[in-house]
Amino acid sequence: AGSNAGDLTGIDVDDLHERAARLGNLHVALLTSGVGVIAAIRAGDVATGLTWSDRMIAHRLVLGSSDGPVALELRAVVVAMAGEPYEAARLYAAARTQALRNGLRWPAVEGSTALLDQVTRALADDEVDQARAEGSRLTLAEVVAGLDVTASAPA
């Protein structure tokens, strides 16, 4: 990978994702959806970030995972960018709980610490406590419960 490991230029993430999903390779579809979220975050594109996040979570659920700390953390970043500090704090708490439960590094996403501080400062103390309590019990399925995740799969 070398020094340009984070360089996403020249990669058609949509095409890669569509081909992987069409071939039923959900692991590659999951990876490309993660790349899509990161690219959208870098571009400051909230709507595209949420679309990729929906797909990423849907793939994890289909693969049988109830935990997805990185998927939740990436979604927290996008939701924070969207100006929803309460939901971002809730998602960060879920990501942290699941990462620690699975022995994974927390935070895993660059810039999360500063962003979490920012959303926490935007909330009253009792809101922060409530968001953390809710987030600590949150599952991936609950995050996308209101969404039609089948719509995220290519036709």
pLDDT in tens, 63-111: 998 899 999 999 999 999 999 999 999 999 999 999 999 999 999 998 9
Give the pLDDT score at 11.
73
Query: Around Cβ 142, how many Cβ atoms within 10 Å?
Result: 12
Task: Give yes or no for residue 151 having a pLDDT over 70.
Answer: no
Query: Around Cβ 35, how many Cβ atoms within 10 Å?
Result: 16
Residue with more model confidence, 3 or 35: 35
Closest CA to 37 of 68, 2, 3, 4: 68
Give the pLDDT score at 56.
95
Structure tokens at 147: 């969404």
Hey, what's the torsion of the CAs at 61, 87, 134, 70, to 10 degrees? 40
pLDDT tens for 112-145 read: 999 999 999 999 999 999 999 999 999 999 988 8
